[in-house]
Amino acid sequence: MGMLQDKVGIITGASSGIGRAAALLFSAQGAALVLNARGEAALADVGDVIRAQGGQVRIVAGDAGLPETHEALVAAAVSAFGGLDIAFNNAATIGPIKPLADVSVVEWQQTLGSSLTSAFLGSRCQIPAMLARGGGSLIFTSSFVGTSVGLPGMATYAAAKAGLMGLVKGITADYAAQGIRANALLPGGTDTAMAGDEAQKEWAAGLHAMKRIARPEEIAQAALFLASSMSSFVAGSALFADGGNAAVK
């Protein structure tokens, strides 16, 4: 029996990086999954891997910044697997890397849309389905950027990620007594396409007490903790999985 046996989960941003690693891990731990990303081909590849390993999965490609995408994801979870227990709202983009005064209104809106608004849109669809099952776990991928530090040129990204902490606390105030656990996962630098080239990864490694960046699988393991019953009394929290980054500034 896996840690997520007989559970049903949604993962956004599941075609690569942390989302892909979480999809493979959650499936291996027994969860039936509905996966989302904008890139349908890469998303389908993740689904093929899960099916080849005996897992249950449905694919819903689309933009997580649109309400209809989340409506389709929850509908797929309910119709294919009978309900929803876990949602890992992981989709995001870095957005513009430049000083705040140089950021356009469109860039600002797009960055907040991909990280913060998508999390709002997801949770407002996911919560009713979880309440119908007696509760569930909502996980949001935040960041050390905006919560413990600011980095040059990343004010827009920082604002979006910091906003997720307010969302987590608000959901906890509204729904924790009804069995909904909302928590934020705060990775440090992680070896994904968003991490940049080798020079950028080496620079990021120096920010961490452990002097390296994470593998996506390491962040997925932290997400598994929040998704599983091991975190049954964890709600409204910020779980740093950042190699000591926030501790050494």
Segments making up each domain of the chain, as ranges = 8-247
Q: Which residue has the tokens 């069995």?
A: 179
**Active-site annotation, residues:** 157
Q: What is the dihedral of CA 144, 4, 176, 166, to 10 degrees?
A: 20
**So what's the pLDDT on residue 104?**
97
Q: What's the mean pLDDT in 200-216?
A: 88
Written out in words, the top-level CATH class of the domain with range 8-247 is: alpha beta
Contacts of 32 (CB under 8 A, 6+ apart): 7, 8, 9, 55, 56, 57, 80, 81
Position 193 confidence tier, pLDDT thresholds 50, 70, 90: confident
How far apart are alpha carbons 50 and 130 in whole angstroms? 24
Average pLDDT in the chain: 95
45-91 pLDDT tens trace: 999 999 999 999 999 999 999 999 999 999 999 999 999 999 999 99
